Amino acid sequence: MLTETINTPAKARAARLEARVTTEQKALLQHAAALSGRTLSEFVIASAEAAAAKLMQERETIQLTRKEQIAFVTALLEPSPASARLRKAAAKYRQQMGL
């Protein structure tokens, strides 16, 4: 269990996070924290936040190849004409919405 406090206002620290680690893992984390000039809690929280932000960025960002980028922009700038089926659906939508 990590029990060290971080130098932030008490209000900001309303939630608690606990983790069971091996003795070796704790020693590794404490050594890394000491090398970075942080407390164990500060180091663990900063590392977890960085890992979470990186993961979210990777999973929530669409990455396209150059060919896909060109196809996407071309479709936006030069859209295909609407098919009869699409025009009919749009007209039905406008009628239902009172537009």
Tens-binned pLDDT, residue by residue, of the chain (99 aa): 444 444 555 567 789 899 999 999 999 999 999 999 999 999 999 999 999 999 999 999 999 999 999 999 999 999 999 999 999 999 999 999 998
For 52-91, the DSSP string reads: HHHHHHHHH-----HHHHHHHHHHHHSPPPPPHHHHHHHH
For residues 45 and 42, give the distance between their C-alpha atoms in angstroms, rounded to a whole number.
Answer: 5
Report field, pTM of the whole predicted structure over 0.85: no
